[in-house]
């Protein structure tokens, strides 16, 4: 989440509105980083159920992408949108949220091609791009920034026997943006026997 913020100028001190699509583990980190950089943050989700979580993490705006009124109310606010969604979805939904010359950065890997309407790209100089993690220097910069601002991912330690439960949480609810970390040492002393 840090490298695209840096690449698209969010670390240079100019106030922006950063949109974050997908309020899960990556999305909540994007909100925290963008807020700590001094920006307004718009959390963008298909569900209104994520609003409280997004605002707790630092979002100043919330848009329900499946609600036309919500999209209209937030139209043109985002200078940059970081899209963490890794499932097939319609990118055109987010175009109205971008300001003129704004950019959507694809971070979630989607195996199917996106179909994109060219009109907003042409008439408002909007862009779609992609980004991976940064190199060693950017990673070190990100870690130092996170330490300085006390930014950490939201995690929960589990044992290996709880993998199915954790998978169910991530695929059906994903309500808290928590990522599960397996405690290997504790798992090896427990009753879990791999199949």
CATH of the domain at 71: 3.40.50.720
Q: Let me know whether 44 and 59 are in one domain.
A: yes
Q: Is the pLDDT of residue 122 over 90?
A: yes
Q: Let me know whether 159 and 145 are in one domain.
A: no
Domain presence at residue 194: no
Domain presence at residue 41: yes
Task: Take residue 22 and report the two structure tokens written for it.
Answer: 């997908």
What pLDDT is attached to residue 191? 60
| DSSP track, 46-95 | S-GGGHHHHHHHT-SEEEETT-HHHHHHTTT-EEEEEE---S---GGGGG
Q: Is the pLDDT of residue 173 over 90?
A: no
Domain presence at residue 195: no
Q: What is the mean pLDDT of the chain?
A: 92
Q: Let me know whether 70 and 140 are in one domain.
A: yes
Task: Take residue 192 and report the two structure tokens written for it.
Answer: 């879990």
**What average pLDDT score do residues 89-112 get?**
95
pLDDT in tens, 24-63: 889 999 999 999 999 999 999 999 999 999 999 999 999 9
Output the pTM of the full model: 0.90
C-beta separation of 11 from 5 below 8 A? yes
**What average pLDDT score do residues 107-118 get?**
92
């Amino acid at each position: 989440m840090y490298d695209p913020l840096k690449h698209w100028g969010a670390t240079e001190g100019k106030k922006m509105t950063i949109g974050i699509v997908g309020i899960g583990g990556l999305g909540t980190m994007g909100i925290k980083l963008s807020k700590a950089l001094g920006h307004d943050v718009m959390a963008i989700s298909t569900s209104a159920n994520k609003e409280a979580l997004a605002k707790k993490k630092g979002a100043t705006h919330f848009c329900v992408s499946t609600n036309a009124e919500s999209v209209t109310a937030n139209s043109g606010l985002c200078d940059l949108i970081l899209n963490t969604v890794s499932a097939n979805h319609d990118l055109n939904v987010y175009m109205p949220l971008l300001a003129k010359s704004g950019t959507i950065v694809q971070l979630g890997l989607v195996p199917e091609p996106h179909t994109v309407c060219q009109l907003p790209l042409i008439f408002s100089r909007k862009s779609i791009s992609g980004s991976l993690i940064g190199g060693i220097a950017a990673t070190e910069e990100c870690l130092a920034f996170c330490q300085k601002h006390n930014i950490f991912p939201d995690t929960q330690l589990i044992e290996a026997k709880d993998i199915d439960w954790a998978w169910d949480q991530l695929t059906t609810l994903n309500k808290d943006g928590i990522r599960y970390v397996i405690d290997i040492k504790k798992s090896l002393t427990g009753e879990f026997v791999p199949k």
